[in-house]
Amino acid sequence: MNNINLSEYHPILDIQDHMLFANNGNVVLCYRCELPEVYSLSETDFEELHGTWFQAFKSLPVGTVIHRQDVYTKAKYAATQLPNESFLQKATYAHFKGRDYLEHQSYLFFTLPYNKALNASKFTNPFRKIEIGIYRKMDHQLEAFITAVNDAVSFINNSRKVSLVPLSQNEIMSITSTYFNGFNEGFDTDIQLKKDAIEIGENHFDVLAVNSELCFGDVVQSSKTNDKFTSDDFVFHQGFLDGLGLNLNENHIVNQIIYLDDKHKWRKLLEKKIEELNKSSNFGTQNKVILKKIEDIVSQINEDDSSRIIRGHLNIIFWSREAGQISQIASKIKAELKELDITPYYPKGEERKQFFLSSFCCFASNFSNGDMYVTDLKHALCLYLNNTNYKSDTTGIIFNDRQHNIPVLKDVWDEQKKRIKARNFAIFAPTGEGKSFLANNILRQYFENNVRLVIIDLGGSYYKFAKL
């Protein structure tokens, strides 16, 4: 298939609340992830988040597909939340309106696949015979799956750092049309799956993937030192994969797909492999090395009751209106992965088409064994992106966010006393770091909101402000 018209081949049969019934018989429970703000997590916080994901996922039924999708799109700041009445307000509005920033949406999909064996062939056309459709009835297996997912979601929501919000029918349809419309705005178009490229409307797409255990280096961890902000006085941490999140500053999607396999099945396969290698270990030193590695893995599985063997796949889909920029974005992604000692796989032709189509939530069960790495669930969850952009409160003072230098509304009073018990705060910084400038910004906004101000100024920093 080289052209896909979504109006003719729609992958969704039905949506009930946040439950999606796909045309291929898969049932998908769809959630939006509400993540902590960027630069707000310590090393301990990253470890706690990793533990939360692991505890929530480890008891899900065998055969479950967990698909985490983080979508980053370039956008322009609309400035709708900024006041626009006084001279200074108008100047601030004009200064920030239209500023570029990266928008982030994070989704989590739990799939009960129609083919529970999860043994898709290398190339699966998800749109073949799609007009027939396989409608899945609400049976005992589906009810048990929904209960297990609800338990996992409740556990995550009780963690207080992350919350999962069920997607509405309109949101699910919007995600689908946006994905297959190639993030083009103002018109509908077809997907052109060419041998040397994927083109959708005005946008050119490409893919990089981590699809084998050989891609990984020696260390994968929940967080790493942030070199940009770490100093002699303190160590600042970031998520292990954060370089592929907001910091990439390009249009891209990070897809992380986990197949929850049966631990006993893998143990039997490995024990059979050990038996075969024992017979041939004298035929070469390489056999002895591999034998030792597999024996170590089996002993780890036997010793750690909490271990959960999974098959995983990570890919980064990226796009641009300029075909020439695609290679530059690919270079940036490769550089970020190189820092993590990860060697990505660059798919071409049919493989690239397959990765793009299978990265849609309905088709996440279509990856083959050759497209996936085998590891423990704890290892795979180190690759989760655990933070997002700064979030505005409903009321408050406008500050600049650290990521894109766009305005963000922060409640410094906390009238409901959720965080602070009194209306007091102090500003600490060395000389010349901007204490007076920040206070001027806060006081000016209070003044424009008709708050009564009393300023005791010993250094003359508020002389101009007092003239207002």
Cβ neighbours for 450, distance < 8 A, ≥ 6 positions apart: none
Instruction: Identify whether the C-beta of residue 317 lies closer than 8 Å to the C-beta of residue 253.
Output: yes
Read off the tokens for 175. 């995600």
Task: State the number of CA atoms in the 13 A half-sphere of 233 facing the CB.
Answer: 1
Nearest to 104 by CA among 257, 315, 247: 247
Instruction: Enumerate residues 6+ apart whose C-beta is below 8 A from 86.
Output: 448
Q: Which two tokens stand for residue 188?
A: 């509908």
| pLDDT tops 90 at residue 273 | no
Q: What is the mean pLDDT of residues 361-371?
A: 91
| 425, two tokens | 């705060």
Instruction: Give the pLDDT score at 204.
Output: 94
Q: What is the pLDDT of residues 438-461, one digit of tens each?
A: 988 898 888 888 888 888 888 888
Burial class (CB in 10 A: 0-12, 13-18, 19+), 37: middle
Residue 361 pLDDT:
94
**468's tokens:** 């207002």
How many residues are recorded in the chain? 468
Residue 203: name the closest of 347, 302, 321, 326 by CA.
321
Among residues 190, 188, 196, 319, the alpha carbon closest in space to that of 253 is found at 319
Closest alpha carbon to 193 in 426, 430, 2 = 2
Residue 100: its H or E element: strand 100-112
CA dihedral 243, 378, 235, 420 (to 10 degrees): 100
Helix (H, G, I), strand (E, B) or coil at 15: strand
Q: How confident is the model at residue 7 (pLDDT cuts 50, 70, 90)?
A: low
pLDDT digits (tens, 9 = 90+) for 17-33: 999 999 888 999 999 99
**pLDDT higher than threshold 70 for residue 135:** no
Task: Assess whether pLDDT exceeds 60 at residue 129.
Answer: no
Give the pTM. Answer: 0.88
Both tokens assigned to 328: 């530059």
Give the 3-state secondary structure of 320-366: ECCCCHHHHHHHHHHHHHHHCCCCCECCCHHHHHHHHHHCCHHHHHH
Q: What is the pLDDT of residue 185?
A: 85
| Alpha carbons 256 and 108: distance in angstroms, whole number | 10
Q: Is the dihedral of CA 110, 114, 120, 121 positive or negative?
A: negative
Report the Cα 322 to chain-centroid distance in Å: 25
Q: Please give the torsion angle defined by the CA atoms of residues 342, 55, 168 and 203, in that order, rounded to the nearest 10 degrees.
A: 0
DSSP code, position 304: -
Domain ranges of the chain: 3-381, 397-467
DSSP 8-class letter at 388: B
